[in-house]
Amino acid sequence: MIELDCRDLPCPRPIIELAKALPGVAVGDLLAVVARDPAARHDVPAWCRMRGQEYVGEERADDGAPRYVVRRLT
Amino acid sequence: MSSTPEVYLDAASSERLHPAARDTLVAALERGYADPRRLHRAGRDARLLLDNARAVVADALGVHPDEVGFTSSGTDAVHRGLLGLTAATGRDGIVHSAVEHSAVLHAAAWRPSPATTSIGVDATGRVDLVALAAAAAAPGVGAVALQAANQEVGTLQPVDEAALPDGVPLLVDAAAAVGHVPLPRRWSVLTASAHKWGGPAGIGVLVVRRGTRWTQPFPGDDGLEELGGFPNVPAALAAAAALQAVLAERDEVTARQFGQVATIRAAAAALPDTEVVGAAEARLPHLVTFSCLYVGGDEIVDELARRGFGVASGSACTASTLEPSHVLAAMGALTHGNVRVSLTRETTDEQVAAFCAALGEAVTAIRERAGL
């Protein structure tokens, strides 16, 4: 799974990185973004809804930072 | 930077003083300085002005003058209203929608109670009435708080449809609604804020219906006569004059604004990866919110300011904290790239058209900088 390290990026940079990385993921595969920015918790699911992708859920990276997982659908 | 005056599109934060309020304020500053509790002539003058202000506000809101009190702000009115209900019922639990103004959230957190519950909303920001009624029936609930209209997205709440148990009073925060839409009727306490309708800042309104179990929650005597100390008589009278004037113009102004907002909603919805947030029809006439993917809230506010438009944003990077708007979060809406436009009573069709053009340019410019 591709994981984007956006730990120290402010909003909306984690979402911009997510959008840029999506074309490099095969349809059906997972893509994760690690972000401490509190807006990402709301904006990753909202991005999935607006862009027609699947929001899989929130996990923790090894250092405890929130990791949001997305599945490419289109 | 252009020397053209900024087009102010943030009336929901604070509306410019209405001309009727300005004239009244100047006159009342001369006459209304004394202590309205005193029996001398100056005191009786101040009392007359204060009583007049209460009568005008009462008439405008369809209540009795003795049900109206003036506070130092809308926030203060919410705090006194809600905590006065829980103090009187002896039950600290407050049930409220997840999209209430922070004044309600802060009051609910003031005395923690297991019965305090935040009720979710749908994607338009409308509260779940079934969940609200169920939570209100729980033991320990002293009050329910539901806004008349949302301050960030403009959605009207179905206040009069709420089926609340007997003995659980409802506080309606009408700060975003007064002067713009007809108000709900089924409530025990109603709060508002004068600078949102074109009155002066520093005046809130607290209405407590006769028969409501409410007590002054902060130090001082019971009653609405004197909330928080010496009253600002001139400002109260100016607030009343503004409200009267705004209501007299309301049908004409709001019909115009409703159409202007529909224009902005359509222009925003036509932009790529942009979502208009909030109810399309059951909404405030003058307010619209939308969020643009890949755009920072501070960036879009700055870009629009450079093009001559002053707007607000609920995005985290424009707030004093790093937390995004709790309203947008509760709706499941995109929290970044957020813009709230709220029209003044003087906004023209030409300004709206120019704003729509500037918006498209601003969003395109920001996305190009981000490499998208």
- Nearest Cα residue in chain B from A21: B372
Q: Which two tokens stand for residue B256?
A: 């115009």
Q: How far apart are CA B196 and CA B334, in angstroms?
A: 26
8 Å CB contact of A20 and B336:
no
pLDDT in tens, A19-63: 999 999 999 999 999 999 999 999 999 999 999 999 999 999 999
- Nearest Cα residue in chain A from B369: A16
Ordered by where they begin, the domains of chain B are: 8-15+251-369 (3.90.1150.10), 19-245 (3.40.640.10)
Specify the pairing of strand B274-277 against strand B287-292: antiparallel
Query: What was the ipTM of the complex prediction?
Result: 0.95
pLDDT in tens, B226-266: 898 999 999 999 999 999 999 999 999 999 999 999 999 99
**Confidence at residue B114, expressed as pLDDT on a 0 to 100 scale:** 97
* Residue A11 is a catalytic residue: yes
The residue segments making up the domain with residue A34 are 2-71
8 Å CB contact of A19 and B295:
no
Instruction: Say which CATH number the domain at A59 has.
Output: 3.30.110.40
Q: Provide the number of structural domains found in chain A.
A: 1
Q: How far apart are CA B313 and CA B316, in angstroms?
A: 9
Beta strands in chain B (DSSP E): 7-8, 68-71, 93-97, 117-119, 141-145, 170-173, 189-193, 204-208, 274-277, 287-292, 309-310, 338-342
Of A16, A39, A49, the CB nearest to B324: A39
DSSP H or E stretch at residue A45: helix A40-51
8 Å CB contact of B332 and A12:
no
Q: How far apart are CA B32 and CA B240, in angstroms?
A: 14
